[in-house]
């Protein structure tokens, strides 16, 4: 399903707080923070010219976040950044002065961090990022996972020293339990979704994502005309849409938000004209996008700055994993996890349907920006779905 944004807020200016969060100045600060991260380097921006010819567009460029900071996901930019920011702010309060990222390994900051416990609920990738951030600064960490999170993803989070807490039910159930437990224990919740009264930390998480935009835009000869960005609660899609709005105003790229058909909380919110919670049904293979209620901050941005909303089916996500693993026409291979290639899956559906092409304004000169939001974060499942291990494909 494909729908142009019908909301009355569409194309209105961003809320000033959101514009500040996703501003150029803050994006530069995020990159400065990354400069202090061991092993940090920009992720590849991959061009797919053969696929562009097949889909009758001018260019397709995909930012490959499967290489990000050892976590194989764009989430490495968000949760860990928020944890570091929060610890430095608390250190500043206790020390009575501004504390810079350059001091993050100092004994004074470590002494503050070791008394802090950060926590969150996760499908996998955000929890790994929060746990990694906690390990970097020396804070304690508790991560809540629902019953659908695989043992392999749980082990990957636990490897950063996090205490793992299982919750019966789905992602939204784990969010509720994580919030309740954190309040009872005085822990700091570092969530990538927001709700009434809880906006600043999720905004910091989204702010962390702007680094991938800064990197990508520096490499492009011209800005994109279109972007297709997948969404769970909406954080990455809102970060892209909001940053584009700040940079380009009314001349920003046409942005389509993409949901799994089985967890289409943003599509249904767009249809309803307000943030809505959708019913939990059959699980989707797009596990990192299996969210049933949008982040309120993300929805506030997307209701104004997204141009269209659409859904993709299970077979679309699996097909694009295989397509990226076995490209034609000399295009490079890309390792994309179950949720990683969903933006490309949406582009393919739109590009091959003349009515949808017209609705989205796709032409033979369109320049498409996509994000491979995750690599093979569950290698065993990747091999099952693609028929080759991610290590073999990378080699």
Q: Which has the closest alpha carbon to 356: 206, 278, 254?
A: 254
Dist. CA 29–CA 21, nearest whole Å: 11
**Is the separation of the CB atoms in 234 and 257 below 8 Å?**
yes
**Planar angle of CA 312, 201, 19, nearest 5 degrees:** 75
Q: Is 98 a catalytic residue?
A: no
Q: Given 64, 123, 172, 259, which residue is catalytic?
A: 123
Dist. CA 73–CA 304, nearest whole Å: 27
Q: Which has the closest alpha carbon to 160: 132, 122, 121, 188?
A: 132
The pairing of beta strand 163-167 with beta strand 188-189: unpaired
Q: Given 75, 192, 259, 316, which residue is catalytic?
A: 75
The radius of gyration computed from the CA coordinates of the chain, to the nearest angstrom, equals 20
DSSP track, 89-148 = HHHHHHHTS---GGGTTSHHHHHHHTT-EEEEEESSHHHHHHHHHHHHHT-EEEEEEETT
Query: Three-state SS for 166?
Result: strand
**Is the separation of the CB atoms in 356 and 349 below 8 Å?**
yes
The tokens 């019908």 sit on which residue?
6
Q: Is 12 a catalytic residue?
A: no
Instruction: Kindly tell me the sign of the dihedral angle through the C-alpha atoms of 220, 226, 227, 228.
Output: negative
Dist. CA 239–CA 225, nearest whole Å: 17
Q: Which two tokens stand for residue 7?
A: 């909301």
| Residues belonging to the active site | 75, 123
């Amino acid at each position: 399903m494909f729908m142009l944004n019908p909301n009355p807020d569409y194309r209105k200016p961003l809320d000033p707080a959101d514009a500040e969060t996703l501003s150029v100045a803050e994006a530069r600060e995020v990159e400065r923070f990354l400069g202090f991260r061991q092993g940090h380097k920009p992720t590849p921006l991959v061009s797919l010219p053969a696929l562009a010819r097949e889909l009758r567009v001018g260019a397709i460029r995909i930012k490959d976040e499967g290489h990000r900071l050892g976590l194989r996901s764009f989430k490495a930019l968000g949760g860990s950044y928020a944890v570091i920011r929060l610890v430095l702010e608390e250190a500043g309060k206790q020390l009575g002065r501004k504390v810079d990222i350059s001091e993050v390994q100092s004994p004074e900051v470590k002494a503050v961090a070791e008394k802090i416990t950060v926590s969150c609920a996760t499908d996998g990738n955000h929890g790994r990022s929060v746990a990694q951030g906690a390990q970097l600064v020396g804070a304690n960490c508790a991560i809540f996972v629902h019953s659908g999170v695989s043992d392999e993803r749980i082990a990957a989070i636990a490897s950063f020293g996090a205490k793992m807490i299982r919750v019966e039910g789905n992602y939204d159930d784990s969010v509720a339990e994580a919030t309740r437990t954190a309040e009872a224990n005085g822990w700091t919740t570092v969530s990538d979704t927001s709700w009434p009264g809880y906006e600043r930390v999720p905004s910091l998480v989204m702010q962390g994502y702007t680094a991938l935009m800064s990197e990508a835009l520096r490499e492009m000869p011209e800005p994109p005309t279109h972007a297709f960005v997948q969404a769970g609660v909406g954080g990455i899609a809102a970060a892209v849409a909001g940053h584009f709005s700040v940079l380009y105003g009314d001349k920003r790229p046409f942005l389509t938000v993409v949901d799994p058909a089985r967890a289409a909380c943003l599509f249904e919110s767009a249809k309803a004209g307000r943030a809505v919670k959708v019913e939990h049904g059959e699980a989707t293979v797009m596990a990192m996008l299996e969210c049933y209620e949008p982040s309120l901050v993300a929805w506030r941005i997307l209701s104004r700055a997204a141009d269209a909303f659409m859904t993709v089916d299970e077979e679309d996500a699996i097909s694009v994993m295989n397509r990226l693993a076995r490209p034609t026409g000399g295009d490079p291979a890309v390792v994309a996890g179950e949720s990683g290639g969903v933006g490309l899956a949406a582009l393919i559906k739109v590009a091959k349907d003349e009515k949808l092409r017209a609705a989205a304004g796709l032409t033979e000169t369109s320049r498409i920006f996509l994000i491979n939001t995750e690599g093979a974060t569950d290698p065993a499942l990747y091999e099952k779905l693609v028929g080759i291990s991610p290590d073999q494909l990378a080699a």
